[in-house]
């Protein structure tokens, strides 16, 4: 049976969604892996989103908490809010109490990717504070580490991402993921899928 990887994200303006697409491509490149993108429910009213200048949501299925149990591995993506995950993703995790009670996610590998507005805006604190959610579910956190190689050390341009996972800087919303950031995301997807495949094969 194929290894099922879910890429589950929240994105207000589309930056995290762009990373999610690349992560899916990377994961799908691993033989025997099926990757699927999901978005979590929006909690803000359309009126508020309109005033924020947020674009319409993409044609991506909205996941329910219970559907997480069907995956062999899950990559969660979200923008930061004051160094932590956005409230929409936190609300989604808050709704996984039933899965926690049954420990339905225990032992499943999980990864994290993210977007921040500035260089000091949480490229490390955002994933670091998110690990508590995975820990309570008994999930196995799979950081990308420095497996991306020399490009993660690049100093010739501004670039997001860290050993915790792929990332991007959105600035005021006008900056989109760079080529290197997209490559990092694709690499994370491929690397994560390989780990998930090994774990399922040894189970």
pLDDT of residue 157: 85
> How far is Cα 16 from Cα 52, in angstroms, rounded to an integer?
17
pLDDT of residue 96: 98
pLDDT of residue 5: 98
Residue 203 has pLDDT above 80, yes or no: no
Residue 37 has pLDDT above 80, yes or no: yes
**What predicted TM-score, i.e. pTM, was given to this entire model?**
0.96
pLDDT of residue 150: 87
CB 114 within 8 A of CB 184: no
Residue 27 has pLDDT above 90, yes or no: yes
> How far is Cα 187 from Cα 65, in angstroms, rounded to an integer?
27
pLDDT of residue 202: 78
Going along the chain from its start, the domains and CATH numbers come out as 3-201 (3.40.50.360)
Q: What is the mean pLDDT of the chain?
A: 95
Summarize pLDDT for 189-198 with one digit per residue, the tens: 999 999 999 9
Summarize pLDDT for 99-146 with one digit per residue, the tens: 999 999 999 999 999 999 888 778 899 999 999 999 999 999 999 999
Q: What is the largest CA-CA distance in the chain?
A: 50
> How far is Cα 100 from Cα 43, in angstroms, rounded to an integer?
22
Pairing of strands 84-85, 73-81: antiparallel
Structure tokens at 70: 């069907």
Q: For residue 54, with 0-12 CB atoms within 10 Å meaning exposed, 13-18 middle and 19 or more buried, which class applies?
A: middle
Summarize pLDDT for 160-200 with one digit per residue, the tens: 999 999 999 998 888 999 999 999 999 999 999 999 999 99
CB 183 within 8 A of CB 21: no
């Amino acid at each position: 049976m194929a290894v099922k990887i879910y890429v589950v994200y929240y994105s207000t303006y589309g930056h995290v969604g762009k990373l999610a697409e690349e992560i899916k491509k990377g994961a799908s490149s691993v033989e025997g892996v099926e990757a699927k993108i999901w978005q979590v429910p929006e909690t803000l009213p359309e009126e508020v989103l309109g005033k924020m200048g947020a674009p319409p949501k993409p044609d991506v299925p909205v996941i329910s908490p219970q559907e997480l149990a069907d995956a062999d591995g899950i990559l969660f993506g979200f923008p930061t809010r004051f160094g932590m995950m956005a409230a929409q993703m936190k609300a989604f995790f808050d709704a996984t109490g039933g899965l926690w009670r049954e420990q339905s996610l225990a032992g499943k590998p999980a990864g994290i990717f993210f977007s921040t507005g500035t260089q000091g805006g949480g490229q490390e604190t955002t994933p670091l504070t998110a690990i508590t959610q995975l820990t309570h579910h008994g999930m196995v956190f799979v950081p990308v580490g420095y497996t991306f190689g020399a490009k993660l050390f690049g100093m010739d341009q501004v670039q997001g991402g860290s050993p915790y996972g792929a990332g991007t800087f959105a600035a005021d919303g006008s900056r989109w993921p760079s080529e290197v950031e997209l490559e990092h995301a694709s690499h994370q997807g491929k690397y994560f899928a390989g780990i998930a495949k090994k774990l399922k094969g040894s189970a």
